[in-house]
Chains A and B, each alone.
Chain A
């Protein structure tokens, strides 16, 4: 069997193998391509950098296993940045059923429990069902909605929650998701209370959010793994996202090469047929 026959019969396997190699090699031996920072990411960094002692940052999460690779590195980078800010309060809330698992994992990964005091510097509210109604409830009156946090501690016993009871007390909100629920914060926190909102999103959700960004309704976007890598560079903590960018670069080149090859074959065959 000639190479031509092999390729025409088993082209899928060949393509899969090429993609696997182009993803695996940079992950094992990073090339170290530069990671230029987009304005959307820089804006999030600058806003967090400008937070003052006493400010409250809310991190909303709908991270699940499916979007873990793209969005979780963003969450880690932002959480790490917030923990470095002195006396900035962090309120963590999940509006996806899998969210709490990743929030707890992230808190452990950045050593939040040893670096800050739970209940004074950060609080994890856990999963709240109800979609947009949950976000509306959090924005209106947290204590009317919830009695306890994720671990079952009474909110009245957590000193941080004395001064935090709704969107009027939130300085910024950053929501991490792959679905339309990021817009809940725009509807329920930004529109009625003017709370500043930003998103951490998967690549497919970015076009939706970009319209809000250019209109000035959100102050920034962390765009997929690329945004996470950029944020890791900005905070000087290169991690899995920076490594992943090399793999992504090679994969994109492969896609472009395949598109080019497919079109060359298409026009060649069409030319032969006349």
Chain B
């Protein structure tokens, strides 16, 4: 990207960000209208990127098939699936049609749910193989995990009402406090990144650091 073009985009970025920031604290009809427009443009761009993503997938996987790269048959499956969905949507004229819904409910949903559900089996195997009290820290983590599991399933309360209570204490004190610290850290980081973007110090939104 040329330096002139980068300066122009930096200036646009700065101006738009400034308008949105000012509008947040200062009520003005013109600023509100401008901000609403900017926001709606972002939604349109978001919708456009979905199409761009689709195009990118088609090109990438078509190249994999043509060049017979490793695992290329999976690319064939992907493209056939993609075009089946597109064709069904176009032919039936709607994504609410029974045909479109049938493909989704009979194929995509069972496969996707199965893949997600397989985690339960991997966790079971991992809990036997990997979750070992090799150190004091690991032992603390292990005991906390057991109490939280007993808190999260009714069986804990059936065994003893104390078990979920201990889990709740761990959850409320250690869990929430730790997570809040992480979230505050993320918040500060986001603020710093936002400021860098606004003042043009962050090159990524302008097309990389080159």
A residues lining the B interface (CB < 8 Å)? 11-12, 15-16, 18-19, 23, 33-36, 64-69, 97-98, 100-101, 104, 128-131, 133-134, 136-137, 140-141, 144-145, 150-151, 192, 203, 207-208, 210-211, 214-215, 223-224, 226, 245-246, 248-256, 258-259, 261-263, 266
Contact = CB atoms under 8 A, between A and B. Distances in A.
Given A252-B152, A262-B127, A262-B128, 17 more contacts: A64-B112, A65-B112, A68-B109, A98-B104, A100-B96, A128-B43, A131-B46, A134-B43, A137-B36, A145-B40, A150-B96, A192-B24, A207-B176, A249-B155, A261-B128, A262-B131, A263-B133
B43 A130 contact: yes
Interface in B37-82: 39-40, 42-47, 49-50
A97 B53 CA distance: 13
16 contacts: A11-B128, A16-B121, A16-B124, A16-B125, A19-B120, A33-B155, A67-B116, A97-B50, A101-B104, A130-B47, A215-B180, A223-B152, A226-B153, A252-B149, A256-B149, A266-B132
B35 interface: yes
A210 to B, nearest CB: 5
Nearest to B152: A226
Interface of B: 24, 32, 35-36, 39-40, 42-47, 49-50, 95-96, 101, 104-105, 108-109, 111-113, 115-117, 120-121, 123-125, 127-134, 142, 145-146, 149-150, 152-158, 164, 171-172, 175-176, 179-180, 183
Contact of B179 (A101, A211, A223): A211
A23 B50 contact: no
B34 to A, nearest CB: 12
A256 B146 contact: yes
A82 B111 CA distance: 31
Given A19-B121, A66-B113, A259-B128, A211 B153 contact: no
Contacts, number: 163
Interface of chain A, main secondary structure: helix
A75 to B, nearest CB: 15
Given A133-B39, A133-B46, A104 B96 contact: yes
Contacts of B156: 252
A69 B113 contact: yes
B103 to A, nearest CB: 11
Contact of B127 (A151, A224, A259): A259
A208 B184 CA distance: 11
Contacts of A255: 123-124, 127, 149
A227 to B, nearest CB: 10
Contacts of A210: 171, 175-176, 179
Contacts of A215: 180
A215 B183 CA distance: 12
Given A129-B43, A262-B131, A34 B50 contact: no
B155 A252 contact: yes
Given A66-B116, A129-B50, A130-B47, A262 B155 contact: no
A258 B124 contact: yes
A207 B178 CA distance: 9
A26 to B, nearest CB: 11
Contacts of A263: 131-133, 142
Most A-side CB within 10 Å, residue of B24, B127, B164: B127
A51 B106 CA distance: 38
Given A68-B109, A137-B43, A256-B149, A33 B154 contact: yes
A262 B129 contact: yes
A224 B120 CA distance: 14
Shortest 6 CB-CB contacts between residues of A and residues of B: A130-B46, A65-B112, A133-B42, A249-B155, A130-B43, A129-B47
Contacts of A266: 132-134
A130 B183 contact: no
A81 B42 CA distance: 34
A65 B117 CA distance: 11
Interface hub of B39, B45, B133 (most chain A Cβ within 10 A): B39
A130 B128 contact: no
Contact of B43 (A15, A145, A246): A145
Contacts of A66: 112-113, 115-116
Contacts of A254: 124
B179 A208 contact: yes
Given A140-B36, A211-B183, A255-B123, A134 B46 contact: yes
Nearest to B38: A133
